[in-house]
Amino acid sequence: MTIQFNDETFHDDYTFRNSDWAIQRFPFPFHEDSYMYSVNLEPHLSLRPGSVYEKTFDVDEHYVAEMKDRARVLAEDPLRCQSLPHMTLAGWDLLELIMVSKAREYPDLFELHRDGDRWHWINKPLGIEQKFVFLDETTLPCGPLEYITRQAQGDYALLDQRDDNLWMDAGMVTTQADWSLDFDIGMNFFEWHAPVPMASELGVFQRALKFLLNLQQGAPVRRLNWTMTVNPLLDTSPENYHKWGVQKTALTPENVGSKQHLRVELQTLFRLPRSNALAFPIRCYLIRLEDLVTVPKWGRRLHRVLRDLPEELATYKGFIRNRPMIVEYLSQFDDGTPTSPGVFPD
């Protein structure tokens, strides 16, 4: 296999690590030295060989470990995967999208053989081989949404389009940044975005919904979102806040570089062919600050963004308590040199 998969954990002993390769391809989210909410959607086209934007669904060194972590979370809380009855067809659409994309773009890792509706799927990293009949749930060990997203990095929401709105009616959510599928399922676009400060006043969600309602099949889009996380936790869910929220108090000037992580979501949206639903993959990437600052441009820029971020955004993103400590740590990597435009390393 062309990718060397890490043996690592995202809980308890936190053995997660990024290789030099993973650091250099990290999806740094700030294209300038300041930040404010925007729609910031762009076509999800292949960009820069080796980057997280090259393939339809990025597979990296954390794949096997992330799938083990998903199985662990689901064993503790099966409600992290839910699908309302009318969303089964959308689940099959998503299964097809992921299988076809991965078999085409990672032929050394995944294979898909199709003979009419009789499909044969091979996932080499996870040691899975499954023959099934497409659109026949009885031929899979679980529903199509759960089956394929147990083998795909990132969270997945399936959005039903009706009444000039989008409704979160199905999903697999185990790596979320403090939101709950169990709480949000059945909500519309404005309802599940209600907690976000400032964006509604800026008209961000109104513009985004208008755009997404008109999203065409074969023209997927992407955007980046970000927050901060203490320790490399994938599962920062409200259900488990009592476990991870307290970890913010463990940050000190001595350990902030190793324990504080920038958490970035590569969010993509696809129009699905049979159901007309939207697939909304949310892929989480984590990087500790001491690794991020090895890219000088990123160290300087993150310092400036966090230093100048409006207080309500720092509060919403959950690091207001530790912002002075984080900014002080990053300041030693900011020599005042101007940064070049764009998100990629110089």
List active site positions.
223
288 in Cβ contact with 257 (< 8 Å): yes
Q: Which of 167, 220, 211, 209 is nearest to 57 (CA)?
A: 220
CA distances from 250 to 183, 256, 319, 321 (A): 29, 9, 13, 12
Stated length of the chain: 346
**Nearest alpha carbon to residue 110 among 125, 97, 93:** 125
Q: Measuring CA to CA, which residue among 236, 239, 241, 240 is closest to residue 263?
A: 236
Q: Side chain identity at 51, as an amino acid letter?
A: S
103 HSE (CA, 13 A, CB side):
15
Q: For 141-244, where are the E strands, in sequence order?
A: 155-162, 165-172, 221-230
Give one word for 40, left, alpha or beta, with left for phi > 0 and alpha for psi -120 to 50.
left
306-314 long-range contacts, CB within 8 A, separation 24+: 306/330, 307/331, 308/33, 308/34, 309/35, 310/36, 310/198, 312/197, 312/198, 313/35, 313/37, 313/197, 313/198
**Residue 315, helix vs strand vs coil:** helix
Whole-number Å distance between alpha carbons of 205 and 209: 6
Q: Which of 80, 41, 92, 103 is nearest to 267 (CA)?
A: 41
Q: How far is CA 268 from CA 30, 53, 212, 278, 283, in A?
A: 17, 10, 11, 10, 8
d(CA 305, CA 302): 5
